[in-house]
A and B are shown apart, each in its own frame.
Chain A
């Protein structure tokens, strides 16, 4: 089973909750994997401190000329919807950051002169945090497109009866979609501010568009207005927990310590959340 922890807005507490849930479930003896799909800024490793870490590089295809067979038709340039390839006489220039790796240029080359080579865009690191499996994607600085790396890091998670917790990137665009797709439950983390509410509603729209069952957690629940609860009620999305604002949580987070290991109060809240998540995800969407 796969639970995607997401939010429209950044900084609402996705990583706090995703790492805490994964820790508690794993401590309870469940087969858990934590997947950090926020590949532009993955932070889960700071808290879970994975051991026995191995890594592999991830590549995407980009076009490359085969020998000197280009006769300069310029069909590749015409075919590319992303302006990623320029035809220059008997050669081509490829703008790697713009290339989507779709293969249209190779298909359209009448000389059959375009091959594809692999270009590295990031790393997947995997290891263990005690009994928990850990995996994260790390996009190379300067790379623009994170979705291919996100798809790769999420691929296969939650299989073989394992419980996967996916720590998703913020937003509602292609990178967020790549992370939440295929989840059995979308757990939305929000906060009771106008920002939290606004971005929550966007995330709900994303969940609906992808047909995902949803549940919510309100973080810093005691700081703001009830508007976010009313909105969730109206959307018929169950609120499984309200986490109060506590300076000790913020301080433990700032020092990259696991709050569940320090605060029995917080551990209790996350444990209860975990129980209702398992009940919720087992039921009808």
Chain B
């Protein structure tokens, strides 16, 4: 089984369109893992039948027992996250800021603080013509996105093993932080999707740095290439110079966003399908 993660650093370069297109051209069923748990978009392009949304628990939030609390404020003093406030009406915990570290309960002389497990999000398994799609939804304003990403990947691996699927294709989150680390850890290959813009190149360079940091092999697709052919060439040169391989370029065509706006995968746009097939052949060779 081979895990391929698709990332971009910058958002909006076309990760999800490309992942769904790769899934469409694959002649074997795949397991897809939507690891952009903040804003999972793959389910909007790949239809199928969802299993139940399973709650996912991670982390804890403090909870103060007002009958025991004397309002001494030791908890407020020790909290590094500004999550505790002692008021005349009792001690209040701001659940957006509480990281569940327990520092407050360690210093509470009345043992008035307990912890509740947080529901960090939900996880769903969808079956469709392309195979299986594991997707998740992080609760709004929650941390623990990295843990939810890890859980999506764990579920994807379980399905791939059970169903003997050769490839897990991971649609990664934007950025280079915690959820991206979780999406990339120990994958077999990283596919970077970039666009020929100053921003795209700047962010590509940071993703290349991150791949190097984790010693991961990578290749790159340059999307919207003819928007700025000179920068598209520059992106290819950068990728090659950094020891990654270039899988090709995809066209900039307003028909792509038009197809997406209808909820369709852009494979019908001229020049798209051939290149996607070529890239998929290289990726799975």
Contacts and interface: CB of A to CB of B under 8 A. Distances in A.
B13 interface: yes
A107 B96 CA distance: 23
Interface of A: 8-12, 15, 40-41, 43, 46-47, 61, 79, 81-82, 97, 100-104, 107-108, 139, 141-147, 169-177, 191-195, 198-199, 202, 205-206, 209-210, 220, 223-225, 245, 247, 250-251, 253-256
Interface of B: 9-13, 16, 37-39, 41, 44, 59-60, 78, 80-81, 96, 99-103, 106-107, 138, 140-143, 145-146, 173-181, 195-200, 202-203, 206, 209-210, 213, 224, 227-228, 231, 252, 254, 257-258, 260-263
B227 A250 contact: yes
A209 B95 CA distance: 11
A169 B203 CA distance: 13
Given A177-B96, A202-B140, A220 B257 contact: yes
Contacts of B263: 194
24 contacts: A9-B11, A9-B12, A10-B12, A10-B39, A12-B11, A15-B199, A41-B9, A41-B202, A46-B202, A47-B198, A97-B181, A102-B80, A141-B213, A169-B175, A170-B174, A173-B37, A173-B138, A173-B145, A173-B179, A175-B175, A177-B141, A195-B39, A199-B41, A223-B257
Interface of A is mostly: loop
Given A11-B11, A104-B102, A256-B197, A141 B176 contact: yes
A131 to B, nearest CB: 23
A170 B36 CA distance: 11
B102 A254 contact: no
A77 B227 CA distance: 53
A147 to B, nearest CB: 8
Contacts of B199: 15, 41, 43, 46, 253, 256
A141 B101 contact: no
Contacts of B37: 173
Nearest to A103: B103
B101 A82 contact: yes
Given A209-B96, A253-B197, A254-B231, A198 B38 contact: no
